[in-house]
Structure 1
């Protein structure tokens, strides 16, 4: 053979072995690595609804603030859709390629992706020879940063479990950008400068748009009521909306009302969000989050499902779990890290409706029922304590015992009690109904009793009647005569406030019969006083005066000066209705002195209002205005919206009599708003009629402006 014979191999491939027959001389390999531009983004989502603000925020952050952003939120809220939509829309800004990895942080079928494995795949995609990729994560991450140092690449890391998965995959250059999606709060990444964007559920209007987009032309066949029901039950969760829409679209001949019925029933709601393929199931998606919790946290999450509420305070969680408030706060924050709850204000955590249903399904065990009973008893105790602070001047039934291991909420005074009731009223209503279902009759009665004063003050008349009815049912089942009489009296008062006077009279007469048979003098005094109010409203003033006089005698015999003051005030008003103004004023002034001496602010307000009305009818308008202004001020001080509405209307009437029309009209508008808010529509209409007849402005009004 010729001595200058050469073997030359040209290849664009790496790690390729080529076998030839016989080699003579040296082997020279020459090759080149072609530039590799990865395009790994999955297909762009077909559309994105109502995320314009978040899209704009991502653009601003990635362009001007820091090239790494975490999108966090509960399962099914649309994090991946948002990330891919932004990435595909902005891919042109990253000419050196786009990398994508599903980190499988919450995959129920396997372990989360190993960062080293992901790095190996990214480096291969960027054109690095396999033989040159280090096996250690740190070394591979260093090479990864080196390769990216002169490039503009977008990296999307979907479904991250923790910061440990993400940190090795962050580039070391500002020229690249990273989008991370996760169900957890990756707080450690924030310490590294990574910015977080929380994705919330959708408003109802946007949820409707999602349904319309998915169903396209088919939405026309769905009635508005069904669309509204589906939107309401999906609670703004995009995954739930798309599954519900898919079910409608798959069976166009089925009535949509069938799906609505499934969604309306708590027991079948989560099952309704199942597309039928075993993957697109809301229950499965939610379980991926709960399944990632450790033993203590899954127990806490499961017991949260036992509580029939979505808004939970630290004290509620502490009672439910039978731990200290400090431990409860720490556990709630850990659940917040997993995005299973959301702290919407200090110490208050919200759980999405569908997440709560998932937790409730996990809570079907004896421990959960015990936890619910403990929670009901703690709320029953606290409601009774708070109610006694709102009105300490009456006979107080002993509150139930506080369960062992539960720290009481410290309520110092009337304002603290009002604040607690305002915060926990929805929880109390839900627990009241839960206790009724479980037939915990003593707790039902205590909660009903405890809610009465607060609901009266706020003008929650429908709720007041409903709660009182449940209290009466419980008292009848318990079988104690005095409890039954008390419950009948409470229901009679609620009916009186709601202007259902026939029902009120029936309840109170039955209560009086029981109390006379049992010899309960204080109960008889209360019931006679409540009956006078009913008869007064019905215009039967002599009967009302009779009952008021009996009530006062009984109160005095029982050494109850505040009760006697209430009766005196009632008698004053009744004497005025019967034409004896002098006696009326005398009774009311003595009543006001008694209420003032015993610190009964609500009694002072009611009596001041009565004095104002009597003085107005007698033509003493200046005196009437002073009394009525005191009544309005004291009602506002107590937060008693029910009384404030009445007193405000009365003050307006006095000012009309004085010719101060501009001020009177402002008060009438305020009274109308209060009446409407309390659903006292007859009273609201009466005020509107007064506004129609009240002059707009008179010359003398200018001095009042």
Structure 2
């Protein structure tokens, strides 16, 4: 567990495989076997989702849920539903994610588990942010943070302060957003949560890019890359996207070429995002396409920007296809989505 939490995925996977092998040697009639098997499925799901193996993680979680539904540990069942919701969210299956999250929240209420309630509220805040309902996202994150303080849940400090930072940014308050990011970063460092520390540094860099503070943005990116290098981790897709934006920021030819190289690499291969990241795979892809189109314009090739914008708009439409009319309305009012639609409509 600790190796997974600190980002050492292959070491964690090796230990999980050993545990599963050991469980296979226990007689099936042993009544203690089923909870242990469920726990092993859960550990594998954590590792697989962090490695971008989402479909395998979903299968593991469905197996865990099937086992736990026949038991009496509703708290662990709630955790499985919560994790399944997170993995589906990362895949971009927001409606399914909401359905499973609702089940987790019902179990948390029934058992009175405030820790599980805090996690469910945090996840709901992220889903509402994705759909553009900033008021409800704010309510969920602040309530989750309050419970986290009460329960001493330091992970909750990390995720909820980061979530509030994104809401402030969406509302145009850069100063308040950075203050929340700083609190999230401090919390991540206190508990050596290296993956989220790196991710929050990239969030900060993206916010600084909004303000045209390219040097300061690069400093945050350098810190994030150092963390990844120390753990032997490749940079995340979110880091690469922000790095491309920072490289292109000043409009210099060498920076534009580097940004094109990074984005083309990102867009031609599978995008692997840890399900604890705030952004979904479809959102990251459409954002990368929008930036790629913008790079064509910056290089004086406006006629070649259109296909990138058009594909980004297609992805946005696909992403919200199963939303309710109200959800589609708030989603399409997100700044990023409005920019994609406008660019595609004007071919620029």
Deviations 1:93-115 (A, max 9, x none): xxxxxxxxxxxxxxxxxxxxxxx
Residue 463 of structure 1, CA deviation = 2.0
Q: Distance in 1 between matches of 2:123 and 2:320?
A: 20
Residue 545 of structure 1, CA deviation = 0.4
TM-score normalised to the size of structure 1? 0.37
Q: Does the 8 A contact of 1:379 with 1:447 survive in 2? A: no
- Runs of 4+ in structure 1 over 4 Å off: 374-381, 421-425, 683-686
Q: Does the 8 A contact of 1:635 with 1:641 survive in 2? A: no
Deviations 1:63-122 (A, max 9, x none): xxxxxxxxxxxxxxxxxxxxxxxxxxxxxxxxxxxxxxxxxxxxxxxxxxxxxxxxxxxx
Q: Does the 8 A contact of 2:86 with 2:123 survive in 1? A: no
Residue 657 of structure 1, CA deviation = 2.2
Counterparts in 2 of 1:440 and 1:554: CA distance versus 1, 3 Å? closer
- Map of 1:628 onto structure 2: 263
Deviations 1:8-66 (A, max 9, x none): xxxxxxxxxxxxxxxxxxxxxxxxxxxxxxxxxxxxxxxxxxxxxxxxxxxxxxxxxxx
Which protein has the bigger strand share?
A: 1
Bigger Rg, structure 1 or 2: 1
Are 1:388 and 2:47 an aligned pair?
Answer: yes
Counterparts in 2 of 1:605 and 1:510: CA distance versus 1, 3 Å? same
Q: Does the 8 A contact of 1:676 with 1:684 survive in 2? A: no
Q: Distance in 2 between matches of 1:482 and 1:446?
A: 10
Deviations 1:571-623 (A, max 9, x none): 2222233443211121123213323443555x621112112223334324323
Larger RCO (CA within 8 A; separation ≥ 6): 2
Q: Does the 8 A contact of 1:387 with 1:451 survive in 2? A: no
Counterparts in 2 of 1:390 and 1:423: CA distance versus 1, 3 Å? closer
Q: Secondary structure at the match of 2:236?
A: helix
Residue 444 of structure 1, CA deviation = 4.3
Counterparts in 2 of 1:376 and 1:555: CA distance versus 1, 3 Å? closer
Residue 630 of structure 1, CA deviation = 4.0
Q: Secondary structure at the match of 1:618?
A: coil
Q: Secondary structure at the match of 2:300?
A: coil
- Map of 1:41 onto structure 2: none
Are 1:464 and 2:102 an aligned pair?
Answer: no
Of 525, 530, 535, 2:163 maps to 530
- Map of 2:221 onto structure 1: 588
- Map of 1:165 onto structure 2: none
Q: Distance in 2 between matches of 1:626 and 1:666?
A: 18
- Map of 1:520 onto structure 2: 153
Of 316, 327, 338, 1:675 maps to 316
Which protein has the bigger helix share?
A: 2
Are 1:614 and 2:253 an aligned pair?
Answer: no
Q: Does the 8 A contact of 2:85 with 2:96 survive in 1? A: no
Alignment of 1:56-455 (within 5 A): 382=41, 385-391=44-50, 414=51, 417-421=53-57, 441-442=74-75, 444-455=77-88
Are 1:483 and 2:116 an aligned pair?
Answer: yes
Counterparts in 2 of 1:610 and 1:526: CA distance versus 1, 3 Å? same
Counterparts in 2 of 1:456 and 1:597: CA distance versus 1, 3 Å? farther
Deviations 1:652-679 (A, max 9, x none): 2212322334653333333233222211
Are 1:647 and 2:288 an aligned pair?
Answer: yes
- Map of 1:666 onto structure 2: 307
Counterparts in 2 of 1:673 and 1:591: CA distance versus 1, 3 Å? same
Specify every segment of 5 or more residues in structure 2 that has no aligned partner in the other structure, as ranges: 1-23, 25-32, 274-279, 322-327
TM-score normalised to the size of structure 2? 0.71
Q: Secondary structure at the match of 1:508?
A: helix
Q: Distance in 1 between matches of 2:35 and 2:192?
A: 35
- Map of 2:237 onto structure 1: 605
Counterparts in 2 of 1:557 and 1:633: CA distance versus 1, 3 Å? farther
Q: Distance in 2 between matches of 1:566 and 1:684?
A: 22
Q: Does the 8 A contact of 1:635 with 1:643 survive in 2? A: no
Q: Distance in 2 between matches of 1:687 and 1:462?
A: 22
Are 1:556 and 2:192 an aligned pair?
Answer: no
- Map of 2:347 onto structure 1: 694
Residue 525 of structure 1, CA deviation = 1.9
Q: Does the 8 A contact of 1:387 with 1:454 survive in 2? A: no
Q: Distance in 1 between matches of 2:308 and 2:40?
A: 39
Q: Secondary structure at the match of 1:672?
A: helix
Counterparts in 2 of 1:423 and 1:484: CA distance versus 1, 3 Å? closer
